[in-house]
Amino acid sequence: MAKIKPSKGAPYARILGVGGYRPVRVVPNEVILETIDSSDEWIRSRSGIETRHWANAEETVAAMSVEASGKAIADAGIAAEQIGAVVVSTVSHFKQTPAVATEIADKLGTAKAAAFDISAGCAGFGYGLTLAKGMIVEGSAEYVLVIGVERLSELTDLEDRATAFLFGDGAGAVVVGPSTEPAIGPTVWGSEGDKSETIKQTVPWTDYRDGTVERFPAITQEGQAVFRWAVFEMAKVAKEALDAAGISAADLDVFIPHQANERIIDSMVKTLKLPESVTVARDVRTTGNTSAASIPLAMERLLATGEAKSGDTALVIGFGAGLVYAATVVTLP
């Protein structure tokens, strides 16, 4: 019986570079108030959101991804031809097939990289990061590009008072490559499908196609149920990720949670008892909820502003529709 040759991957993996793209148009709360009965004060107090970015016709999912990825590749100091796989997390690419990852891989000039999309909502970046780490350690790719990208403005019901102010557009990307020491910890991830109705698309595409409904599908959620789940359950997951990495909250330099709601972020900080020395990402204020793009976009901004620095230890956690979640500890590029 023949024996399969063992894979020859790197001992560990790490994030080598990060890049982001925010659409040109900045949308203040005043624009949202044109279609819902609310106030700027209410939106800020409930979510922390002051502005968000909405894409124009040219700022497609692919175009934003290419811009963010180019920055990440340059930041990593490698050539696009060295990328062995492109993993894209998105729920707002409206072609079922082919995967938008294939178009992105081609436009970037990769050498026929493996390319595929995943649908894991706001936890998508964590899922993609975990897959990338596995590929590098297993040896099927030396460098993997992980992209989180959304055009959620197209899935927003501007008359829904509970969600109209939440969502924004953008793309964030990281290059994951080999490392001689641990720099991406074990991932604590999972799903709670019994709660899938709390965040969902209003109706299937086929209902709109068949004329069963007149309104284009949008994202809706049960705000209070999601808030309670995120605050209480995701703090536990975050703690499990710290334990899996063998560190405590006191060892952290940076906390980068999914940018869904500043009240959720504040509650998690309190529950985890993070020291005041820990830098907390609050990109939600000016970017809104960009789902899979929110963590890499927040990471890029923290590094660009100097609030975080290369080599810092960061806890990242994403959570959302599914309900799905993923948390891990990483060393920042």
- Residue 140, Cβ density class (10 Å: 0-12 exposed, 13-18 middle, ≥19 buried): middle
Using CA atoms, how far apart are residues 56 and 53, in angstroms rounded to an integer? 10
Q: Are 327 and 295 in contact (CB under 8 A)?
A: no
Rounded to 5 degrees, φ, ψ at 26 are -100, 125
Q: Evaluate whether 52 touches 27 at the Cβ level (below 8 Å).
A: yes
Beta bridge partners of 317: 257, 327
Residue 61 neighbours by CB under 8 Å, 6+ apart: 90, 92, 93, 100, 149, 150, 151, 171
Exposed, middle or buried: residue 103 (CB in 10 Å: 0-12, 13-18, 19+)?
A: buried
Instruction: State yes or no: is 261 an active-site residue.
Output: no
Q: Is 258 a catalytic residue?
A: yes
Question: Is-catalytic flag, 122?
Answer: yes
Q: Which of 29, 53, 93, 258 is catalytic?
A: 258
Report residue 225: phi and psi, to 5°: -65, -40
Give the contacts of 243 (CB within 8 A, at least 6 positions apart). none
Residue of 53, 93, 261, 289 with catalytic role = 289
C-alpha 63/C-alpha 162 separation (Å) is: 30
Q: What angle do CA 43, 48, 51 make, to 5 degrees?
A: 75
Active site residues: 122, 258, 289
